Amino acid sequence: MTLERVYQADVQDVWDLWTTKDGIESWWGPGGFTVTVRKLELRPGGELLYAMTAIDPPQVEFMKKAGMPLTQELRITYTEIVLLRRLAYVHLADFIPGVEPYDVATVVELQPIAEGVRMILSLDAMHSDEWTERAVMGWNSELDKLGALILARKVGGRS
């Protein structure tokens, strides 16, 4: 699956939002969730450990109905880092009731363009069509949050 966005920002700002504790905590996770970074080792073989917590009523209800805890401890292992251009990692999908854990590979590419930054996100499909659709919905929500944050910073004079 591939998702693409163009952000009116410079590459450094978008890179920082993907690769720093403060950046990740400011937008990561679908709407209705918050994220707390526990560990961040930005290097091939390094890990990002984070807690994602459902906080809005619809997400809390979904998690409860699915038999999932409201807070999940999650792990990403970086496989490739190209400064300001490319992040590749595998995300351990070990949070799905009744499904054996498996890795989901993800690649984030940042390309400077006249309008700002083109971001291309490529990720593996999940174990079923339903969960793949949920992943795409989640990523679209996250990327919308990222875009809103970038816009707010630009309007606020930070970019």
Instruction: Tell me what pLDDT residue 145 has.
Output: 92
Reported as a single tens digit per residue, the pLDDT across 115-140 is: 999 999 999 999 999 888 988 998 99
Reported as a single tens digit per residue, the pLDDT across 16-47 is: 999 999 999 999 988 889 999 999 999 999 99
Contact predicate 7/17, CB 8 Å? no
Give ∠ CA 139-45-102 in degrees, rounded to 5: 50
Q: How far apart, in Å, are the Cα atoms of 105 and each of 100, 102, 131, 143?
A: 16, 10, 15, 17
Q: Tell me how many domains the chain contains.
A: 1
Q: Which domain holds residue 99?
A: 2-155
Reported as a single tens digit per residue, the pLDDT across 58-109 is: 989 988 998 888 998 999 999 999 999 999 999 988 878 788 989 999 999 9
CATH of the domain at 32: 3.30.530.20
Instruction: Tell me what pLDDT residue 26 has.
Output: 95
Instruction: Tell me what pLDDT residue 95 has.
Output: 78
Q: Per-residue pLDDT for 158 more than 80?
A: no
| pTM, two decimal places | 0.86
Burial class (CB in 10 A: 0-12, 13-18, 19+), 39: exposed
Reported as a single tens digit per residue, the pLDDT across 97-116 is: 788 989 999 999 999 999 99
The two structure tokens encoding residue 9 = 């920002």
Supply the mean pLDDT for the chain. 92
Residue type, 86: R
Residues 6+ apart with CB under 8 A from 22: none
